[in-house]
């Protein structure tokens, strides 16, 4: 029986108006209680997430506690939390969508032990509001009475603690019902979680920041910023074209002055604007923060301004920022914010002296975010002095019109400034990468594989899978030391004389059930993160390095694709997809496979699988394997040629793999000339990805996950074309085919770097390859420009990429559909898949940024504390790859460093190069033309720098307290750097880079050791805060990008 009630809601809008809303409200005899103690689970229909059975009490937060302390309630240590519908609605109405979404995600997340109880739909819990009763009072009363009902519903077996900030409620309800308690939040933490230090600190910090805000709002201040316009006005304005919607992007190098709004949604089509909109100055930004979705009003044309074209601090990566000096561009001001995309920010507290200079209001401290694009934040804390040597995480709470800076609160300490672990933790937080150790719940889902209890192929799987163990010679080719083998290959002759090519991929989805803890964690991470000296896995190692890994000599589950090829033309006749059992015969490393391919059989000594064999069978086995590698290479060449004809690009941006020695130290990077066998493996993987893409798209045209690579914008190629012209080359960018061909021929026989730099520029001009759902994109947009394929996806690395896990599930569903079987797998709808793609794309960008930033960290640590005037390593050869008005951008091949070198300094003096590796600053002027810049001193000496000139640079480190250190480059001669004995070749430079990481880590370890001995107490104290655990150095770095030439942040991973 349903009973109807009317509920009157008074909503306060952001502008302070009050809206009266009447809602019909149906009461039910039972709603899901989601408790394992429920006496009638069927009646309650508890079919969702249940509370844990292992708690001593349930905790029910009052509406105000949910509003103010949600961050603390998010601690996974807090268990048995019941969120009342009344409290959730209060959050929704008073805290807005963002906070409400956080709450909803928390409720959905299986890792958090909390549930929703829809108390207002429960007929015995629902309490009408009394005449004259304040909303707040009614909410608290409602929650308390529901808590009492819940207690009795669970047959008085589980005590309930209602946590409220309402002192009157504590007095009134505290002892009203046996077994239902009412206490304050602070009291609750003190009594139940005395050891959860981080939660206590966060709670104090939130409390203090709230008190300060309250007292402040009573003071009257002058307004610093105009009010934001009401949402209705903004929406109407966007519709009519008066306002423009977009994402605020602050220019890192001129954060105080320049921000751009990148047009979004309908605005990009309707406004007639092609460029971004400039937001000049922080006033015009009107409290919006980098990343926010803002609404902009254009200023009249006579107020438009131009962007700055001069070289700035460490300015080496901006796309297309070298040209168009200060031409006025559309300029506007922010009139409202549609979505605040605030995150956790790493900040540095001011030093003691600076605190003193901040003066009277010593409790409110201005802290400086590590990210230049984020404004300073005011933090209320008494710990400022204790925090001054640490990297600290804070959150922003509000930004009032009366305040120059936003207000925030302290969250936690990461580590000491300049300390490797603290700086790495900073990089992780800044990229929103969370890599806590895998949870116990997740580990419980893992299959067992121990010497006493070895994992075995199950009879059931044996029946359902195609068994390739005795019919197929399967083997893997990977970098030396690789543990997580995603992919294996096979090739054989069929009885009809045709060939059969096989690609066999780790069957990760057999072990990872949809929506299991492992699945959710993997989805959240989305990828394995590779930093310069470590990696963070997407899956626990029992899967990634063991049961999923297609190691040699053991039975493994795989998902296979088998193609039947014509014996001579290699034309594909048939294809089969399905689950298999394989036993890889050889786990080869690239160099060994290449040697075999080249007919150098001495390498057999290095292949352990051959060692065990007797001479006679060894010969036969060897011949078999050599035939297979040769055949594969032949097929791959054929497939590659076909793609080349369509214009596949070879860019400077392919993965470089790291070799590890027995102790997991980086031994070497793959040599400068890629081996053909790399291409063989890559081509087979591309083929598999392509065929899977076609298959899942055919089966699920509106909900398949594919990967697109949009064609680049022609205007981004202008710098590439100009640079090539300087060397007399013509780059034809009309199509991927012409681009590929003209890049191939743009080769300076005297300087191989020219071609590499041009390819790197082409990479920079490219768009990023992205995952997308086929339901949200027209078919002609599916195209993969770089690979010249109409459809592409990622299928071959499910151990390391979540996209591949989604694709495996799609493929399995497609096969069962073919067999007219019921599709049991939970497939994502187009809308959900779109959301997941956005998340994965975002995480991939974060992974690339983190990798780049960690490498820069190591580079700085390598050069820090060296005397650049005396140390040999600080002087190196560099190539000029871009000309700016006050300097040049230089690439240093030896260390893979890109950076700016000034030709004019801050005092307006210009560079003058002497005969012996020395330069001076003198009065004079700079003259820049298309491909060169000339510095002329007042005395008449002049020096000219051309594009692609080799120069000698001195490398030093600019230490910054609040931000990451940066490399500084200084040109000391306009001539190439001559090393005393040898010329520099690419290979030695790569070797040096791995040495660099090694050396920095070693010295960090030594320093750490000394520190530990010296002040152990301090060390312990801060270890407690330290987020990353264990310095597992040189963990498998199986896949790292070459940092020498590609700027990882902008390159397009194929
Ligand atoms: Zn129940």
Using the mean position of ligand 1's atoms as its centre, give its distance from the Cα of residue 845 in Å: 45
Using the mean position of ligand 1's atoms as its centre, give its distance from the Cα of residue 390 in Å: 48
Q: What are phi and psi of 381, to 5 degrees?
A: -160, 150
What's the rounded Cα separation, in Å, for the pair 127 and 119? 10
Using the mean position of ligand 1's atoms as its centre, give its distance from the Cα of residue 42 in Å: 8
Using the mean position of ligand 1's atoms as its centre, give its distance from the Cα of residue 297 in Å: 54
Using the mean position of ligand 1's atoms as its centre, give its distance from the Cα of residue 34 in Å: 6
**Strand-pair category, 377-380 with 407-416:** parallel
What's the rounded Cα separation, in Å, for the pair 969 and 894? 14
Using the mean position of ligand 1's atoms as its centre, give its distance from the Cα of residue 95 in Å: 30
Using the mean position of ligand 1's atoms as its centre, give its distance from the Cα of residue 50 in Å: 11
Instruction: Provide DSSP, 298-327.
Output: EPPGGG-B----S--TT----TT-SSSTT-
Using the mean position of ligand 1's atoms as its centre, give its distance from the Cα of residue 697 in Å: 43
DSSP 870: T
Using the mean position of ligand 1's atoms as its centre, give its distance from the Cα of residue 39 in Å: 6
Using the mean position of ligand 1's atoms as its centre, give its distance from the Cα of residue 440 in Å: 28
Paired tokens of 128: 């009408």
812 membership: H or E segment, kind and range:
helix 802-818
Using the mean position of ligand 1's atoms as its centre, give its distance from the Cα of residue 49 in Å: 13
Using the mean position of ligand 1's atoms as its centre, give its distance from the Cα of residue 125 in Å: 13
- Pair 509, 813: CB distance under 8 Å: no
For 605, 894, 991, the CA distances from 667, given in Å and listed in that order, are 20, 17, 8
Environment class of 980 (CB within 10 Å of its CB; exposed 0-12, middle 13-18, buried 19+): exposed
Using the mean position of ligand 1's atoms as its centre, give its distance from the Cα of residue 739 in Å: 66
What's the rounded Cα separation, in Å, for the pair 390 and 393? 10
Using the mean position of ligand 1's atoms as its centre, give its distance from the Cα of residue 153 in Å: 7
**Cα within 13 Å of Cα(281), Cβ side:** 10
For 65, 340, 970, the CA distances from 99, given in Å and listed in that order, are 13, 11, 48
Using the mean position of ligand 1's atoms as its centre, give its distance from the Cα of residue 121 in Å: 14
Using the mean position of ligand 1's atoms as its centre, give its distance from the Cα of residue 80 in Å: 15
Using the mean position of ligand 1's atoms as its centre, give its distance from the Cα of residue 115 in Å: 12
Using the mean position of ligand 1's atoms as its centre, give its distance from the Cα of residue 119 in Å: 12
Using the mean position of ligand 1's atoms as its centre, give its distance from the Cα of residue 935 in Å: 82
Using the mean position of ligand 1's atoms as its centre, give its distance from the Cα of residue 43 in Å: 7
Using the mean position of ligand 1's atoms as its centre, give its distance from the Cα of residue 29 in Å: 11
**Strand-pair category, 331-339 with 535-536:** unpaired
For 4, 111, 136, the CA distances from 88, given in Å and listed in that order, are 21, 19, 13
Using the mean position of ligand 1's atoms as its centre, give its distance from the Cα of residue 30 in Å: 8
- Pair 185, 203: CB distance under 8 Å: yes
- Pair 38, 44: CB distance under 8 Å: yes
Using the mean position of ligand 1's atoms as its centre, give its distance from the Cα of residue 154 in Å: 7
> Hunting for tokens 């902009």 — which residue is that?
296
- Pair 582, 472: CB distance under 8 Å: yes
Using the mean position of ligand 1's atoms as its centre, give its distance from the Cα of residue 45 in Å: 8
Using the mean position of ligand 1's atoms as its centre, give its distance from the Cα of residue 122 in Å: 11
Using the mean position of ligand 1's atoms as its centre, give its distance from the Cα of residue 894 in Å: 68
What's the rounded Cα separation, in Å, for the pair 942 and 954? 21
Using the mean position of ligand 1's atoms as its centre, give its distance from the Cα of residue 70 in Å: 26
Using the mean position of ligand 1's atoms as its centre, give its distance from the Cα of residue 155 in Å: 10
Using the mean position of ligand 1's atoms as its centre, give its distance from the Cα of residue 714 in Å: 63
Rg (CA), the chain: 32
Helix (H, G, I), strand (E, B) or coil at 91: helix
986-1014 vs 1016-1025: helix crossing angle, rounded to 10 = 120
Using the mean position of ligand 1's atoms as its centre, give its distance from the Cα of residue 54 in Å: 17
The long-range contacts involving 840-844, CB below 8 angstroms and separated by at least 24 positions, are: 840/526, 840/527, 840/771, 840/801, 840/802, 840/803, 841/768, 841/770, 841/771, 843/433, 843/525, 843/526, 843/527, 844/526, 844/527, 844/1053
Using the mean position of ligand 1's atoms as its centre, give its distance from the Cα of residue 77 in Å: 24
What's the rounded Cα separation, in Å, for the pair 197 and 411? 11
Using the mean position of ligand 1's atoms as its centre, give its distance from the Cα of residue 187 in Å: 29
Using the mean position of ligand 1's atoms as its centre, give its distance from the Cα of residue 143 in Å: 17
Using the mean position of ligand 1's atoms as its centre, give its distance from the Cα of residue 37 in Å: 8
- Pair 875, 865: CB distance under 8 Å: no
What's the rounded Cα separation, in Å, for the pair 694 and 563? 14
What's the rounded Cα separation, in Å, for the pair 119 and 143? 8
Using the mean position of ligand 1's atoms as its centre, give its distance from the Cα of residue 180 in Å: 17
> Hunting for tokens 């991939």 — which residue is that?
844
pTM metric for this prediction: 0.77
What's the rounded Cα separation, in Å, for the pair 400 and 213? 10
Paired tokens of 640: 């590659």
Using the mean position of ligand 1's atoms as its centre, give its distance from the Cα of residue 127 in Å: 19
DSSP 38: -
Considering only CA atoms, which of 46, 49, 114 is closest in space to residue 80? 114
How many Cβ atoms from other residues are within 10 Å of residue 130's Cβ?
Answer: 10
Using the mean position of ligand 1's atoms as its centre, give its distance from the Cα of residue 117 in Å: 10
Considering only CA atoms, which of 867, 688, 708 is closest in space to residue 785? 708
What's the rounded Cα separation, in Å, for the pair 64 and 78? 18
Using the mean position of ligand 1's atoms as its centre, give its distance from the Cα of residue 33 in Å: 4
What's the rounded Cα separation, in Å, for the pair 828 and 810? 9
- What integer pLDDT is reported at residue 653 of this predicted model? 40
Using the mean position of ligand 1's atoms as its centre, give its distance from the Cα of residue 116 in Å: 12
For 371, 711, 1040, the CA distances from 771, given in Å and listed in that order, are 27, 15, 21
- What integer pLDDT is reported at residue 894 of this predicted model? 76
Using the mean position of ligand 1's atoms as its centre, give its distance from the Cα of residue 575 in Å: 52
Using the mean position of ligand 1's atoms as its centre, give its distance from the Cα of residue 500 in Å: 58
Answer left, alpha or beta for residue 241, where phi above 0 means left and psi between -120 and 50 means alpha: left
Using the mean position of ligand 1's atoms as its centre, give its distance from the Cα of residue 110 in Å: 19
Using the mean position of ligand 1's atoms as its centre, give its distance from the Cα of residue 158 in Å: 13
Using the mean position of ligand 1's atoms as its centre, give its distance from the Cα of residue 310 in Å: 68
Paired tokens of 959: 């230490």
Using the mean position of ligand 1's atoms as its centre, give its distance from the Cα of residue 601 in Å: 71
228 membership: H or E segment, kind and range:
none
Beta strands in 190-275 (DSSP E): 243-250, 258-263
Using the mean position of ligand 1's atoms as its centre, give its distance from the Cα of residue 96 in Å: 31
Beta strands in 417-509 (DSSP E): 466-467, 474-478, 487-493, 499-506
Using the mean position of ligand 1's atoms as its centre, give its distance from the Cα of residue 99 in Å: 28
What's the rounded Cα separation, in Å, for the pair 581 and 468? 6
Helix (H, G, I), strand (E, B) or coil at 333: strand
Using the mean position of ligand 1's atoms as its centre, give its distance from the Cα of residue 802 in Å: 36
Using the mean position of ligand 1's atoms as its centre, give its distance from the Cα of residue 104 in Å: 21
Q: What is the 3-state secondary structure (H, E, C) of 888-913?
A: EEEEECCCCEEEEEECECCCCCEEEE
Q: What are phi and psi of 31, to 5 degrees?
A: -130, 160
Using the mean position of ligand 1's atoms as its centre, give its distance from the Cα of residue 957 in Å: 64
Using the mean position of ligand 1's atoms as its centre, give its distance from the Cα of residue 177 in Å: 20
Using the mean position of ligand 1's atoms as its centre, give its distance from the Cα of residue 32 in Å: 6
What's the rounded Cα separation, in Å, for the pair 711 and 530? 28
Helix (H, G, I), strand (E, B) or coil at 887: strand
Using the mean position of ligand 1's atoms as its centre, give its distance from the Cα of residue 100 in Å: 25
Using the mean position of ligand 1's atoms as its centre, give its distance from the Cα of residue 872 in Å: 75
Using the mean position of ligand 1's atoms as its centre, give its distance from the Cα of residue 22 in Å: 29
Using the mean position of ligand 1's atoms as its centre, give its distance from the Cα of residue 46 in Å: 7
CA 237 to chain centre: 34
What's the rounded Cα separation, in Å, for the pair 110 and 520? 8
Using the mean position of ligand 1's atoms as its centre, give its distance from the Cα of residue 144 in Å: 18
Using the mean position of ligand 1's atoms as its centre, give its distance from the Cα of residue 40 in Å: 6
For 227, 929, 942, 1050, the CA distances from 923, given in Å and listed in that order, are 49, 20, 12, 38
Mean per-residue pLDDT pooled into runs of 10, the chain (1054 residues): 64 59 74 90 84 91 92 91 93 79 88 91 87 89 94 93 92 88 91 87 84 65 82 89 91 87 65 78 93 92 77 44 62 93 93 68 81 93 86 92 89 90 94 90 90 93 95 92 90 96 97 93 94 89 93 95 95 96 94 91 85 83 94 94 77 39 39 70 94 96 94 81 86 82 83 80 80 93 88 95 97 86 76 95 93 86 79 84 86 81 85 79 85 87 89 89 90 79 44 64 66 46 31 23 25 34
């Amino acid at each position: 029986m349903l009973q109807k009630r009317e509920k009157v809601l008074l909503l306060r809008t952001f502008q302070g108006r009050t809206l009266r809303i009447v809602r019909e409200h149906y009461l039910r005899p039972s709603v899901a209680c989601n408790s394992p103690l429920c006496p009638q689970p069927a009646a309650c229909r508890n079919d969702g997430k249940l509370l844990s059975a292992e708690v001593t009490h349930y905790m029910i937060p009052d509406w105000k506690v949910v509003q103010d302390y949600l961050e603390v309630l998010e601690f996974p240590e807090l268990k048995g939390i019941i969120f009342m519908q009344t409290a959730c609605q209060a959050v929704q109405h008073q805290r807005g969508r963002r906070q409400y979404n956080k709450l909803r995600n928390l409720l959905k997340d299986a890792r958090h032990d909390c549930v929703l109880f829809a108390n207002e739909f429960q007929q015995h819990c629902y309490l009408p509001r009394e005449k004259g009763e304040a909303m707040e009072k009614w909410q608290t009363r409602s929650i308390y009475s529901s808590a009492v009902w819940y207690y009795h519903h669970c047959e008085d077996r589980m005590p309930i603690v209602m946590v409220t900030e309402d002192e009157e409620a504590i007095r009134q309800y505290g002892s009203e019902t046996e077994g239902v308690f009412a206490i304050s939040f602070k009291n609750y933490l003190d009594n139940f979680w005395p050891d959860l230090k981080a939660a206590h600190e966060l709670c104090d910090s939130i409390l203090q920041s709230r008190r300060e805000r309250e007292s402040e709002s009573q003071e009257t201040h002058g307004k610093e910023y105009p009010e934001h316009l009401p949402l209705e006005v903004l929406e109407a304005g966007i519709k009519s074209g008066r306002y423009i919607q977009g994402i605020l992007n602050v220019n890192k190098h001129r954060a105080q002055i320049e921000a751009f709004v990148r047009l979004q949604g309908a605005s990009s089509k309707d406004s007639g604007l092609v460029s971004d909109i400039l937001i000049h100055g922080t006033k015009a930004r009107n409290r919006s923060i980098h990343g926010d979705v803002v609404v902009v009003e254009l200023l009249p044309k006579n107020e438009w301004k131009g962007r700055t074209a001069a070289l700035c601090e460490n300015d080496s990566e901006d796309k297309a920022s070298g040209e168009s000096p200060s031409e006025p561009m559309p300029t506007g001001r922010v009139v409202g914010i549609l979505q605040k995309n605030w995150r956790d920010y790493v900040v540095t507290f001011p030093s003691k002296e600076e605190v003193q200079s901040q003066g009277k209001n010593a409790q409110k401290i201005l802290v400086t975010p590590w990210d230049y694009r984020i404004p300073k934040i005011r933090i209320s804390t008494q710990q400022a002095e204790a925090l001054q040597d640490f990297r600290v995480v804070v959150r922003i709470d509000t930004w009032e019109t009366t305040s120059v800076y936003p207000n925030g609160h302290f969250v936690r300490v990461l580590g000491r400034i300049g300390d490797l672990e603290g700086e790495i933790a900073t990089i992780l937080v800044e990229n929103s990468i969370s890599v806590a150790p895998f949870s116990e719940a997740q580990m419980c889902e893992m299959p067992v594989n121990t010497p006493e209890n070895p994992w075995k192929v199950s009879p059931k799987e044996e029946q359902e899978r195609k068994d390739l163990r005795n019919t197929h010679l399967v083997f893997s080719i990977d970098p030396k030391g690789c543990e997580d083998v995603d992919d294996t290959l096979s090739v054989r002759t069929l009885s009809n004389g045709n060939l059969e090519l096989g690609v066999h991929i780790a069957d990760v989805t057999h072990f990872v059930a949809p929506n299991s803890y492992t699945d959710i964690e993997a989805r959240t991470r989305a990828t394995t993160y590779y930093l310069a000296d470590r990696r963070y896995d997407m899956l626990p190692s029992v899967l990634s390095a063991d049961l999923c890994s297609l190691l040699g000599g053991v039975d493994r589950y795989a998902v296979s694709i088998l193609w039947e090829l014509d014996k001579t033309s290699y034309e594909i006749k048939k294809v089969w997809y399905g689950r298999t059992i394989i036993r890889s015969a050889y786990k080869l490393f690239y160099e060994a496979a290449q040697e075999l391919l080249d007919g150098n059989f001495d390498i057999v000594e290095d292949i352990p699988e051959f060692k065990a064999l007797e001479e006679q069978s060894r010969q036969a086995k060897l011949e078999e394997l050599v035939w297979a590698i040769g055949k594969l290479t032949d097929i791959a060449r054929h497939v590659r040629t076909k793609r080349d004809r369509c214009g596949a690009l070879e860019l400077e941006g392919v993965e470089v793999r790291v070799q590890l020695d027995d102790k997991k130290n980086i031994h070497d990077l793959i040599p400068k000339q890629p081996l053909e066998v790399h291409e063989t493996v890559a081509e087979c993987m591309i083929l598999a990805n392509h065929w899977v893409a076609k298959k899942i798209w055919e089966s699920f045209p509106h909900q398949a996950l594919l990967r697109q690579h949009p064609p680049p914008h022609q205007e981004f190629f202008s710098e590439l074309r100009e640079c090539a012209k300087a060397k007399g080359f013509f780059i034809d960018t009309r199509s991927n085919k012409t681009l590929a061909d003209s890049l191939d021929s743009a080769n300076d026989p005297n300087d191989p770097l020219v071609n590499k730099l041009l390819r790197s520029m082409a990479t920079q001009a490219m768009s990023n390859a992205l995952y997308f759902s086929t339901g949200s994109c027209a078919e002609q947009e599916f195209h993969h420009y770089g690979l010249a394929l109409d459809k592409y996806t990622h299928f071959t690395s499910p151990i390391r990429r979540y996209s591949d896990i989604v694709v495996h599930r799609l493929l399995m569903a497609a096969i069962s559909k073919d067999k007219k079987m019921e599709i049991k797998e939970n497939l994502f709808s187009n809308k959900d898949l779109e959301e997941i793609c956005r998340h994965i794309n975002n995480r991939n960008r974060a992974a690339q940024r983190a990798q780049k930033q960690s490498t820069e960290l190591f580079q700085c640590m390598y050069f820090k504390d060296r005397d650049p005037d005396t140390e040999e390593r600080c002087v190196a050869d560099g190539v000029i790859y871009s000309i700016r008005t006050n300097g040049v951008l230089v690439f240093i091949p030896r260390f893979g460093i890109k950076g700016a070198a000034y030709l004019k300094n801050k005092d307006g003096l210009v560079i003058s190069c002497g005969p012996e590796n020395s330069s001076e600053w003198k009065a004079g002027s700079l003259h820049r033309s298309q491909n060169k810049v000339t510095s002329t001193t007042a005395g008449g000496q002049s020096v000219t720098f051309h594009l692609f000139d080799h120069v000698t640079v001195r490398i030093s480190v600019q230490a910054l307290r609040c931000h990451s250190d940066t490399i500084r480059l200084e040109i000391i001669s306009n001539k190439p750097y001559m090393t005393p004995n040898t010329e520099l070749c690419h290979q030695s430079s790569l070797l040096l880079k791995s040495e660099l990481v090694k050396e920095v880590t070693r010295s960090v370890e030594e320093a750490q050791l000394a520190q530990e001995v010296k002040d152990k107490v301090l060390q312990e104290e801060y270890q407690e805060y330290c987020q990353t655990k264990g310095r597992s150095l040189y963990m498998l770095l199986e896949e790292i990008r070459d940092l020498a030439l590609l700027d990882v942040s902008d390159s397009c991973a194929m």
